[in-house]
A and B are shown apart, each in its own frame.
Chain A
């Protein structure tokens, strides 16, 4: 997909307004790099399509749901995240992933204080808040305050573990399976798993009115 035939329904896209600032700079840079033979615009389209349609938190929800219904898989996932995720045939296989299991006594929270490290093969590209100064600065010093602000106060008797992604090894939180989901299919379970739960800032809940 290119600039010109996409998202016409979205007025926030900049292409229907005069280009300015970074939009202009990037356009000029792309033209220059194409002219020099350094990039192929079709490869840029393919990269963007990968990030917009092929990777994303849906991949992660499949991993979590499978781990919830298959104990042996869960053990493999916790022992070697990358290999277990590759079993499901997801795009980014090969990425080093460590899976962190939430339990009734332990909550895990993932951050990258220095930049934006994120498990792209299972969650796609990180949301703006994950890359923002407020989250990067506060998650390590005040994880309970951040969790409370985002709607999930953590009781004092539960341990909070914060994981700062400072290397080419990425973390995925395996949230707790909520009560009331007994007998659900893997597909039904995957539907209720959220991106934020797999980063650790939320827990998975059964939405009101959801049925088996």
Chain B
């Protein structure tokens, strides 16, 4: 979706401010929010791409005004209701109408393995690549209302395949319909001037991770 989360190249957001000796979490509620979101993911009612899409659907003014973990809280509440783990009434009142039908919750002893495996997106499917390193490509000029990993700044641009990472879950379809749609993931190199025009440095480049379905031969 052409949302405000797709920020690459926007102006006016201000300076980058690095906080010295920053704590991992700035408040306990941030830690609890993040942990809740991960632990609730144990029930496999959503995948990480649906998780991402839930936060992107926060209204744009709120997205910009609220903090990172407030976005996580928004996304978690949305997913819990949409996927039927809690009802809207339960969320509103804070009182359970019934115990969940899910067999059990994530156990402390399982945390380490669960964290390790939850981001796995590489697939063993034998899918041939459409491109090889060195191939010139042009990104598709697409504007799906759903989730996509093709940022606006890199649409309809010419680049070169830098590296083929093998077969991965395609995030765009996995977010919308749980369709893993196995295909190759590549680093695509774009000259900075192709993306930003003649004022950009002639030496510089931007590498974007893109899938076969984002690309056409150039």
Chain A residues at the B interface, C-beta cutoff of 8 Å: 3, 6-7, 12-15, 19, 22-23, 25-33, 35-40, 42-48, 50-52, 56, 91-96, 98, 111, 113-116, 124-125, 127-129, 131-141, 143-144, 146, 149-150, 156-169, 196, 201
Contact = CB atoms under 8 A, between A and B. Distances in A.
B35 A47 contact: yes
Contacts, number: 276
Contact of B43 (A26, A38, A92, A134): A38
Nearest to B196: A141
B164 to A, nearest CB: 12
B201 A160 contact: yes
A124 B96 contact: no
A52 to B, nearest CB: 5
Interface string B62-79: 001001111001001100
A163 B200 CA distance: 16
Nearest to A160: B204
A177 B165 CA distance: 28
A114 B151 contact: yes
B205 A96 contact: no
B44 interface: no
Interface in B174-218: 185, 187, 195-196, 200-201, 203-211
Contacts of A51: 24-25, 31, 34
Given A47-B115, A48-B35, A96-B122, 20 more contacts: A3-B32, A22-B29, A33-B80, A38-B86, A39-B36, A39-B40, A46-B108, A47-B39, A91-B112, A96-B121, A125-B34, A129-B16, A133-B14, A134-B15, A140-B8, A140-B153, A161-B204, A166-B151, A166-B210, A167-B171
A33, A149, A156: residue with the most chain B Cβ atoms closer than 10 Å:
A33
Contact of B209 (A128, A161, A166): A166
A37 B104 contact: yes
A209 B19 CA distance: 24
B165 A169 contact: yes
A158 to B, nearest CB: 8
B127 interface: no
19 contacts: A6-B28, A19-B29, A22-B33, A26-B29, A26-B36, A36-B90, A38-B40, A94-B116, A137-B10, A141-B8, A141-B195, A150-B16, A160-B203, A163-B187, A164-B8, A167-B171, A167-B209, A168-B48, A168-B121
B144 interface: no
B143 to A, nearest CB: 15
B24 A56 contact: yes
A167 B36 contact: no
For the complex of A and B, the 7 pairs showing the least CB-CB separation, nearest first, are: A113-B8, A168-B121, A23-B29, A167-B209, A137-B10, A44-B35, A47-B35
B19 A127 contact: yes
Nearest to A111: B8
Contacts of A138: 13, 16
Given A52-B24, A134-B14, A166-B209, A39 B5 contact: no
Interface in B125-154: 149-151, 153-154
B131 to A, nearest CB: 16
A48 B206 CA distance: 34
Given A47-B39, A50-B112, A146 B153 contact: no
